[in-house]
Amino acid sequence: MNARFSGVRFAFVTSTLVLASFVLATCNGPPTQMDAGETPVDAGDEPTPPIVADCEGGWCRIPPGTFIMGSPEDEWGHPARSENQVQVTLTRGFLIQQEEMTQREWTALGLPNPSGRNADGTGDCLEPECPVGNVTWFEAVAFANRPSGAESLPQCYELDGCTPGLGEGMACAYIALTTETLYDCEGYRLPTEAEWEYGVRAGTSTAFYSGEITEYDVQSDCNPDPNLQRIAWYCYNAGGTTHPGGQKEPNGWGLHDMSGNAFEWVHDHYTPRGYGEGPLVDPDGDLVDEPFRVHRGGGFNVWATTCRSADHLHGSWDGRGPGGGFRLVRTLRED
């Protein structure tokens, strides 16, 4: 089957967003009650794989499995609709970068370093092992094609009409998948939201993989959170910048900085009314013609609720700002 999205041309408006306004404009807002009839989801009898760190050379192997995506009604920071709980099964294992994509890895391909600081001095740290920042969604997917080509793997994306150059705020007039679904491509790519949340949770169901969130009177105040401070750089402890990867405690899969530090683009378009009814199997593997794309994990300049495992923000696919990065995944062949 030809999986090309024939005739689909994407119009875009060049964005001048920076991550600070990105967050304030798109965050889920204060916690509110669930819609009438929404009930907690039971994980059921689906098997859960052993949570074991299997990492080598900066990549971690994640087995297929089933988990509960979204957050419960009583989790502090739970929004009205966009995080409804749903059972998700991922039928394919995948490799995921153990840390966020670094400036060293980006510039090693001969690309200009887009990372930088805001006028007030906040933003990206500029050491080689700091996360690359100031990256558009288009640049993240275009970058993913580079290592695929270098390793003779299938490229997952077809892009056309891209200007200016990669690393210079690139946006594209056309993008398509090269396979029927993203999960079918064996090259490097962005994770789906489901893969990302399955990865960060590592078998946990609490607000963070390190435990529950600390509640305060106002969720948007920058307050200390002992469980989050162990695993993340966020507004309370980051000092206004991102940090080199791997300095905080990893989760059970061995992944670092899934909460805080850099915001991470994922594949999916944003759906403000949540994930629909479950159970779901390999969800959102298609490419939808919507400019608002999801980024996950929170960042160096946001409060604790935005760093929850279930939290997701969104921004225009041509928007960028300091602290806006990504990590790659690759579908594993079935044995």
Average pLDDT over residues 55-79: 97
Q: Each residue of 126-141: pLDDT tens digit?
A: 999 999 999 999 999 9
Domain ranges, ordered by start, for the chain: 8-32+49-335
pLDDT tens figures, 165-181? 999 999 999 999 999 99
Between 25 and 203, the more confident residue is 203
Region 8-32+49-335: CATH code: 3.90.1580.10
Strands (E), 277-327: 280-281, 292-296, 312-316, 324-325
Q: Give the mean pLDDT of 50-78.
A: 97
The average pLDDT across 7-33 equals: 34
Residues 6+ apart with CB under 8 A from 26: 313, 314, 315
For residue 134, give the nearest of 301, 270, 18 by alpha carbon.
Answer: 18
Question: What pLDDT, on the 0 to 100 scale, is given for residue 42?
Answer: 57
What pLDDT is recorded for position 5? Answer: 28
Angle 278-283-286 from CA coordinates, rounded to 5°:
140
Asked if the model's pLDDT at residue 25 lies above 60, the reply is: no
**Residue showing tokens 């378009």:** 269
Q: How far is CA 293 from CA 165, 168, 185, 260, 287, in A?
A: 21, 19, 20, 18, 11
d(CA 312, CA 27): 8
In the predicted model, what is the mean pLDDT of residues 250-268? 98
Give the pLDDT score at 47.
Answer: 59
Residue 186: per-residue pLDDT: 96
Average pLDDT, the chain: 88
